[in-house]
Amino acid sequence: SEYFQLPIDIMVKNDLSLSKEKSYIELGRHRVLFPIVVNQDNEDLIEVIPAKASAGYLNGYSDPEYIEKLEQIKLPFIPTGKHRAFPIKGDSMLPIKDGSWVIGKFVEDIKHLQSGRTYILLTKDEGIVYKRVYVSESESGNEDRVLILKSDNKNYEPYPVKLSEVLEIWEFTCSIRTEEYDEGELKVESIMRMLRELQVELEPLKKKAG
């Protein structure tokens, strides 16, 4: 109870058996992730999902043996909570580029989802996706709610996903780019071109700069 920061009565009154389709135990509105990997000092470690085999995470995310075999890192500046590192593919979430990594914090309570923030989601159909999430309202419970997933690159259309199709949600904590920026990427012309590709309105920026 103290370790998971949950009242003892919640843990006693709830079924602690794992669902076959989920990597967490539901305790009321809370979700406790399993398995949890720690080091010798009982500090949480960050599992790294391999880029070349990221599709395998959909099959292995709830398998303790799969999770324990993942590479693990520890970053001292990461806030408390359970984190994992996910590879990013494609250009739908520029300026986070293909080949970057996003470290996400496991979302234990659906009510903590905030519309307009970015999350890593594991869905039954797509596997790992990184999008800006907008939460719809529902009067009939969480399972009927719909999440609207939007890309920061406006060349990609937003699309809905039922919450019941989402297996895990990880809130953006930080991103890591493993390649150095090219000199050309830091020039004003390159930045303006990127903004145009993202279909960002440039007039307000020009007025502020002027």
pLDDT tens across 55-107, in order?
888 888 878 788 888 899 888 888 888 899 999 999 899 888 888 999 999 99
- Cα 156 → chain centroid: 19
In sequence order, which residues have a C-beta less than 8 Å from that of residue 121 and are 6 or more positions away?
A: 128, 129, 130, 131, 133, 147, 149, 161, 166, 168, 169, 170
Count of beta carbons in the 10 Å neighbourhood of residue 109 = 10
Could you list the beta-strand ranges (E) of the chain: 24-27, 30-33, 46-48, 71-73, 83-87, 101-106, 117-123, 127-135, 146-150, 159-162, 166-176
> What gap in Å lies between CA 58 and CA 116, rounded to an integer?
25
Which segments of the chain belong to CATH 2.10.109.10?
46-179
Rounded to a whole number of angstroms, the CA Rg of the chain reads 19
Question: In one letter, which amino acid is 186?
Answer: L
pLDDT, greater one: 178 or 30: 178
Q: What local confidence, expressed as pLDDT, does residue 21 receive?
A: 47
Q: What local confidence, expressed as pLDDT, does residue 208 receive?
A: 53
Answer yes or no: is pLDDT of 167 > 70: yes
Residue 87 CB-density burial (10 A; 0-12 exposed, 13-18 middle, 19+ buried): buried
State the pLDDT confidence band at 3, using cuts at 50, 70 and 90: very low
Q: What local confidence, expressed as pLDDT, does residue 101 receive?
A: 93
Fold of 46-179: Umud Fragment, subunit A (2.10.109)
pLDDT, greater one: 129 or 61: 129
Count of beta carbons in the 10 Å neighbourhood of residue 39 = 10
CB 103 within 8 A of CB 119: no
